Amino acid sequence: MINNLNTPRLMITTGRSLPNLSRGDTLDPLHMSIKTAMIARHINKRPGQPPWVKWSGLRRRASRHHGNPRFPNDPLASASCRLWNTSGQLVRESESVLVTSQISVQRHTPVERPWYKDEKVWYQTVLFSSLSTEEMAKIPRKERFMTHKYSCSSMSTRRKPTGIPREQFAFEYQPETDQQFANALAKARSDKRLTIDDGIELLTTGTDCLGIDPTRKEQVLEAADRRREAVVGDEVTFIANLNNNVTTACNTGCLFCNFKDRSEKFRSANTETHAGFTKTPAESRETVTAAATRGIYEVCSVSGLHPAFALNAEHREILKNSDRNDLNYRPPDAYDVNPQTYTDQISAMNIDGVHVHSMTPEEAYHAKRGTNWDYSEVYRRLQRAGLDTVPGTAAEILVDEVREVICPGKINSSGWVKAMEASAEVGLGMTATIMYGHIENEAHRIKHLDRVRDLQDRTGAITEFVPLSFVHQQTPLFERGMLEGGATPDEDELMIAVSRLYLDNIDHIQSSWVKYGDEMGLKMLNCGADDFMGTILSEEITKRAGGGFGQFRSFGEYVDMIDAIGRVPVERSTDYTKRRRIDPASPPFGPTIAPRADGTPMLN
């Protein structure tokens, strides 16, 4: 109800005629809907002006009661929404407004709001509305923007929901821009470098409303697929590789991970059974040797941070003699199985010319803990032991406000970038990843892409970018109720597409069949991706998180699937410098570019 308010009014409508209301008039929400009007003060944007919500943000705030069963015929159920002042003049979309009061629903009681879950946000919104501009400026930005979490009123008729748990987390970074979707799409189509605002507009299909617009999504996918064709043509690459994870012992406590097992379970004094494992260097060598005879080109090794791990013998002496208790170190004799050192493991896998792809930034940090060594020194010693390239995992989301929730025990975003720069400095190639679809929003995803693009501008060492859709089923994030699921298929497609469009300095975008499955993975190859991962032979990380898309792929399966979508199957090396186009009409299909590969099928 609106009564005796001394504030200039702005009306929100979809074009239905509204009466010229005067100050003090009453608006009955049972007839007009709460979203039909709001009380607001118009403010001009000036240098130094606090970042109040813009037109599109106000429209989202106004739609907060979408789904209220008491208003089934809501006048804002269409996609169009306009702002009018009380003199009947249309307010320009570029202007800003400051919400200073919210209209309450008549006879509304917080207890009976099943369509709106967060009680606290409601009361904070009302509290904010009673403050002056000066008082409101003192409120932390992340609290001030808590009201950006409501689904768009047009979602029921056009837009499709995302899997982002917007109501759960009050992040500073929100998907709000000064850009328009049409302008961002035009820049993408003309091959111009995109800004963060452009990326957010494309990934959200427009921030004017929450949810994904199917028509706009297809426009983004089409632009990305054309860019893919211009950059790499119709080839779809894959690699003959093996995953050899050394240990699941880890105390980092990441909430997105179910690969690790608490290291206490691995100690000799423990009598509890567990499903974890640790391999000795001899066992790693045996595993890689067997795979090398089948023609693998690459071994990829990513492991938990076992407390007994050290970079080399020198590092172990430093750890053993340290009086610090924050180094996550125990001597090897405390455990049933001794993983020995990182250099021992790398040397063991460096056999028969197999390319060793290992040592993430997080592992590199573990390999220098307790010392004054920089990352360059660590990677230089690993390179001498046989390391060829570095996987850009452990990146997750390169925005610290997200990392503080999902992996507070890991290095921060700057630490990840610093480690990757150091690996490039000593001459190691690398990949980069993003793990999305958990608690982060679209702004975080684009800021992550921006950091990766900036890193590539400085190093030129990234050979491929790998979007990894979060598999949630058996992870602490899901089990603790912090989210209800992962990314939607629409989000997956847009993540691949916008990665292609935003990362204009990285040629190859990977579609992970382990994360997406075969059908969705193939679809991603028409959304901007051009690489289809590898044979793997053994996959543990996604499987332990609840993934169910298998652990290996044969060359025959790759050729059949890629040929079925009209593309050209190509066997590749890790760095893409060695490539072999495969004729689908000339079976049998097996690897040929690895030192011990002779074309024999790896798997039946």
Percent of the chain scoring above 90 in pLDDT = 62
Q: Is the pLDDT of residue 365 over 70?
A: yes
Res. 340: pLDDT tops 50? yes
What confidence score (pLDDT) does residue 218 get? Answer: 96
Which carries the bigger pLDDT value, residue 537 or residue 146?
537
What pLDDT, on the 0 to 100 scale, is given for residue 103? 30
Place of tokens 């298929």: 489
Q: Could you report the per-residue pLDDT of 199-250, keeping only the tens digit for each?
A: 999 999 999 888 999 999 999 999 999 999 999 999 999 999 999 999 999 9
* Rounded average pLDDT over 72-88: 32
Q: 270 vs 262, 264, 267, 306, 411, CA distance in Å?
A: 11, 7, 5, 16, 29
Identify the DSSP state of 65.
Answer: G
Say yes or no to pLDDT of 6 above 50.
Answer: no
- Region 425-433: mean pLDDT is 98
pLDDT tens readout for residues 295-327: 999 999 999 999 999 999 999 999 999 999 999
Could you give the CA distance from residue 338 to residue 558 in angstroms, rounded to a whole number? 38
Our measurement of the distance from residue 184's CA atom to the centroid of its chain's CA atoms, rounded to an integer in Å, reads: 21
Pairing state between β 579-581 and 531-534: unpaired
**Predicted local confidence at residue 111, as pLDDT:** 31
Q: Which of 301, 238, 252 is nearest to 540 (CA)?
A: 301
Q: How confident is the model at residue 538 (pLDDT cuts 50, 70, 90)?
A: low
- Hey, what domains does the chain have and what are their CATH numbers? 9-158 (no CATH), 235-246+257-581 (3.20.20.70)
Q: Which residue has the higher pLDDT, 471 or 150?
A: 471
What the block records as the tokens of 2 is: 């609106």
Give the span between the Cα atoms of 288 and 347, in whole angstroms: 11
Q: What is the mean pLDDT of residues 524-535?
A: 97
| Span 343-362, average pLDDT | 97
pLDDT at 104 over 50: no
Query: Does the pLDDT of residue 135 top 80, yes or no?
Result: no
Contact 397, 445 (CB under 8 A): yes
Least confident of 87-101, 383-397, 541-555: 87-101
Please, which pLDDT band fits residue 155 given cuts at 50, 70 and 90?
very low
CA distance 564 to 115: 44
- Amino acid identity of residue 120, one-letter, is K
Q: Is the peptide bond before 584 cis (omega within 30 degrees of 0)?
A: no
Model confidence pLDDT, tens digit, residues 283-294:
999 999 999 999
Task: State the average pLDDT for the chain.
Answer: 77
Q: Cα 48 to chain center, whole Å?
A: 32
Q: Residues 455-489: pLDDT tens digits? A: 999 999 999 999 999 998 778 888 888 888 999 99
Q: Per residue in 160-177, pLDDT tens?
A: 999 999 878 889 999 999
pLDDT at 154: 35
pLDDT digits (tens, 9 = 90+) for 31-62: 222 222 232 222 222 333 333 333 334 334 33
